[in-house]
Amino acid sequence: MSHGQFPYIRGRRLRASAAIRDMVAEHDLKPADFIAPVFVMGGENEKVEIPSMPDYYRYTLDLLLEEVGELQEVGIRSVVIFAKVPDELKDNKGTEALNPDGLMQRAVRAIKEEYPEMLVMTDIAMDPYSSYGHDGIVEDGEILNDESVEVLSKMAVSHAKAGADMVAPSDMMDGRIGAMREALDEEGFEHTGIMAYSAKYASSYYGPFRDALDSAPGFGDKKTYQMDPANVKEAIKEAKLDEQEGADIVMVKPGLPYMDVIRAVKENVSVPVSVYNVSGEYAMLKAAAEKGWLNEEEAMMEALVGFKRAGADLIATYFAKAASKILNKN
């Protein structure tokens, strides 16, 4: 019998104990891999659970600072902020997004003042500020690209002025990364980074997030700017374009149904790749665990290491704090 076959070669030797499994693990997780999404709302001393996202909350700014402190304590190095804007402040041009004393800007300043070592990212998108719930200016039922990019670039500068370390445009307008990079540099923010939502798909998995921000589109859908779930080559093209325009990190969103896209993008860009483990993925796992159909901790950790195996360098996830606590025990 050839020595290249069983029984001379036994794969189970490297699975025989926890020690050897840890020693030969090809991928691992650490709290610094995670970007924790946080939701801020107006008011004081209040947190509201998001109905479709069990155990996840919107916070008023005072309580958000406490939450960010807890995230820092478990080793998370970055948060991405999403602001819930009252309906009366919404319009078709996202005017409130540029308010230097707006909720997002105040949240950035407060977090950076209280936790200067926390890397603060901000969502750059018009839908939370739009009376139409779309990611751009609407005219005659069309989402205007270039006019929207102008507003989005101003939003990025506004966030940088407030102290954001990195802006995260999630809008999927053409050319917005280059425009933002130019606008930031012109205003002296050449060190402010850009994490581009490069391959953001028109997905059914965003529902709970839209509940969290009350930002569902008021008409139609987002398929004229978000990507077709059938496409992989398009994701590579979008990621490469964003890299060329100045993105420091590119993102694939959602995560679990798009593992192949994460791998394809990773193999075609030279910047770090992030993935967004989105609200619908979180809600599915939580619902199955509540029914007793899945072990929540085990399924959560399996999904997160799966993102690393697929090629993600960073993971934006609502499981960031829970997963970090588990990792810190090991």
Q: What is the pLDDT of residue 216?
A: 67
- Domain-wise residue ranges, the chain: 25-329
Q: What is the pLDDT of residue 2?
A: 60
Q: What is the pLDDT of residue 218?
A: 67
Which one from 90, 222, 253, 266 is the annotated catalytic residue?
253
Annotated catalytic, 200?
yes
Q: Which residues contact 98 (CB under 8 A, 6 or more apart)?
A: 151, 154, 155, 158
pLDDT digits (tens, 9 = 90+) for 296-323: 999 999 999 999 999 999 999 999 999 9
DSSP symbol at 91: B
Annotated catalytic, 321?
no
Q: What is the pLDDT of residue 108?
A: 98
Q: What is the pLDDT of residue 5?
A: 82
> Could you give the CA distance from residue 308 to residue 32 in angstroms, rounded to a whole number?
13
For 25-329, CATH gives: 3.20.20.70
pLDDT digits (tens, 9 = 90+) for 31-58: 999 999 999 999 999 999 999 999 999 9
Q: What angle do CA 69, 71, 76 make, to 5 degrees?
A: 125
Above 80 in pLDDT, residue 4?
A: no
Model pTM? 0.93
pLDDT digits (tens, 9 = 90+) for 288-298: 999 999 999 99
In percent, how much of the chain has pLDDT > 90? 82
Do 137 and 92 form a contact (C-beta atoms < 8 A)?
yes
User: Encoding tokens for residue 16?
Assistant: 């025989």
Which one from 200, 266, 308, 321 is the annotated catalytic residue?
200
Q: Which class for 111: exposed (0-12), middle (13-18), buried (19 or more C-beta within 10 A)?
A: buried
Nearest to 83 by CA among 114, 44, 52, 37: 37
